[in-house]
């Protein structure tokens, strides 16, 4: 098969450390599909990748930490919000391969000793809080810490927020190959693929893999933090960088929607709340309040607006983030 041969060559060039429990299931949401009386809806369960409650990051970290070990590093430095899935999973992955984890984070409204923050503390991450207004302002602190460690004789490896680099993107190229083999085995022919758009790397990776596989399928990214133009710019940045890295002339077929962000990153919308409750109460699947809840809210809106018809078959990639639900418990399911 082309996917196996291509991936074997990929792994021959870029070291990969197995971290995720793969393949993750491709699940048909029968009850949600019936409830909406619309397209067939499937979910790629990357919330079930293992490694401390799962998510999309282990796929990226398999290559990022492979690169770190190849370079002889002893410490991993990253950053994110107080309820960062990325810090949680990077911490777990680093510990698994014998590296010391450092995570920069911020004081924000979700800074509660629950969810991802609790798990990062439980795992023993060296958490460093900074008084900045946005977690993207943490980037200089990571570089400053790395330089301090180098001067002390340590070998740090800096992983950007969300783990999006050209090397990290290799993980979601693998995801697309895995997903394609699953829908082929299930005799399912998707007509659209929905995925969260944060840093743009996952969409870029999926498009590259589809090009290698010779499949034409629109990818619809639901932005959770940036206006359409900025989000699309990031998608194309990683699309070009990763295409060049792997030596592929790929085709870009995607669209980013920014109507579902609400007041900002990590801020609940009523549509997000509805999506989380609906999927939980129809098919028993938990979405998160930052990423997949908003992605599903976009998918639901597209069904109701007629962008998706009953004849369509949709796959949404569940990128995880479920631990963050606990930090939003009062807003989503008040006691009493």
Q: Could you tell me if 234 and 315 lie in one domain?
A: yes
Burial group, residue 59, by CB count within 10 angstroms (0-12, 13-18, 19+): buried
Boundary residue ending a domain (128, 163, 198)? 163
Per-residue pLDDT reduced to its tens digit, 44-83: 999 999 999 999 999 999 999 999 999 999 999 999 999 9
Q: Could you tell me if 290 and 212 lie in one domain?
A: yes
Q: Could you tell me if 213 and 301 lie in one domain?
A: yes
Pick from 183, 167, 163: nearest CA to 3 = 183
Q: Could you tell me if 318 and 170 lie in one domain?
A: yes
Q: Could you tell me if 158 and 124 lie in one domain?
A: yes
Global pTM reads 0.96
- For residue 307, name the pLDDT band (cuts at 50, 70, 90): very high
Q: Could you tell me if 176 and 268 lie in one domain?
A: yes
Q: Which two tokens stand for residue 134?
A: 């946005």
Domains in the chain, number: 2
b/e burial code for range 3-13 (CB count within 10 A of at least 16 → b):
beebbeebeee
Q: Could you tell me if 84 and 156 lie in one domain?
A: yes
Q: Could you tell me if 226 and 287 lie in one domain?
A: yes
Pick from 106, 23, 83, 82: nearest CA to 58 = 23
- Asked if pLDDT for residue 118 goes beyond 90, the answer is yes
The SS3 assignment for 101 reads strand
Instruction: Provide the β-strand partners of residue 194.
Output: 220, 316
Boundary residue ending a domain (131, 163, 195)? 163
Boundary residue ending a domain (142, 163, 184)? 163
Per-residue pLDDT reduced to its tens digit, 237-253: 999 999 999 999 999 99
First to last CA, the chain: 55
**CATH code of 103's domain:** 3.40.50.1100
- Asked if pLDDT for residue 3 goes beyond 80, the answer is no
Q: Could you tell me if 139 and 183 lie in one domain?
A: no
Cβ proximity of 73 and 153 under 8 Å: no
- For residue 138, name the pLDDT band (cuts at 50, 70, 90): very high
Q: Could you tell me if 25 and 87 lie in one domain?
A: no
Per-residue pLDDT reduced to its tens digit, 140-197: 999 999 999 999 999 999 999 999 999 999 999 999 999 999 999 999 999 999 999 9
Q: Active site residue: 84, 120, 205, 297, which one?
A: 84
Q: Could you tell me if 36 and 67 lie in one domain?
A: no
- Residue 76 sits at φ, ψ, to 5 deg, of -120, 130
pLDDT at 173: 97
Question: Which residues span the domain enclosing 135?
Answer: 57-163
Q: Could you tell me if 181 and 303 lie in one domain?
A: yes
Query: Distance (Å, rounded) from C-alpha 84 to C-alpha 86?
Result: 5
Query: Distance (Å, rounded) from C-alpha 36 to C-alpha 41?
Result: 10
Q: Indicate if 223 belongs to the active site.
A: no
């Amino acid at each position: 098969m082309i996917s196996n041969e291509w991936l074997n060559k990929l792994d021959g060039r870029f070291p990969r450390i197995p971290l995720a429990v793969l393949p993750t299931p491709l699940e048909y949401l029968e009850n949600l599909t019936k409830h909406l009386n619309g397209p067939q809806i499937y979910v790629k369960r990357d919330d079930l990748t293992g490694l401390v409650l799962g998510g999309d990051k282990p796929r990226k970290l398999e290559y990022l930490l492979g690169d770190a070990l190849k370079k002889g590093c002893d410490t991993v430095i990253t950053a994110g919000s107080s309820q960062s899935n990325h810090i949680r999973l990077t911490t777990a992955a680093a510990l698994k391969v014998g590296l010391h984890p450092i995570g920069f984070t911020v004081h924000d409204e979700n800074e509660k000793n629950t969810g991802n923050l609790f798990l990062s503390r439980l795992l023993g991450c060296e958490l460093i809080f900074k008084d900045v207004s946005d977690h993207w302002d943490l980037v200089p602190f990571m570089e400053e810490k790395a330089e301090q460690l180098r001067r002390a004789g340590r070998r740090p490896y800096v992983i950007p927020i969300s783990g999006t680099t050209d090397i990290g993107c290799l993980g979601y190229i693998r995801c697309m190959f895995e997903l394609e083999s699953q829908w082929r085995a299930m005799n399912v022919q998707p007509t659209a693929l929905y995925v969260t758009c944060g840093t743009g790397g996952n969409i870029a990776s999926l498009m590259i893999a589809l090009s290698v596989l010779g499949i034409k399928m629109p990818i619809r990214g639901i932005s959770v933090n940036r206006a359409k133009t900025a989000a699309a710019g990031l998608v194309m940045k990683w699309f070009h960088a990763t295409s060049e890295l792997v030596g592929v002339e790929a085709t870009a077929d995607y669209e980013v929607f920014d109507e579902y962000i609400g007041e900002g990153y990590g801020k609940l919308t009523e549509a997000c709340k509805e999506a989380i409750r609906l999927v939980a109460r129809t098919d028993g699947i938990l979405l998160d309040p930052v990423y997949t809840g908003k992605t599903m809210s976009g998918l639901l809106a597209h069904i109701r607006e007629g962008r998706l018809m009953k004849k369509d078959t949709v796959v949404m990639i569940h990128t995880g983030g479920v631990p963050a639900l606990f930090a939003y418990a009062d807003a989503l399911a008040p006691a009493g």
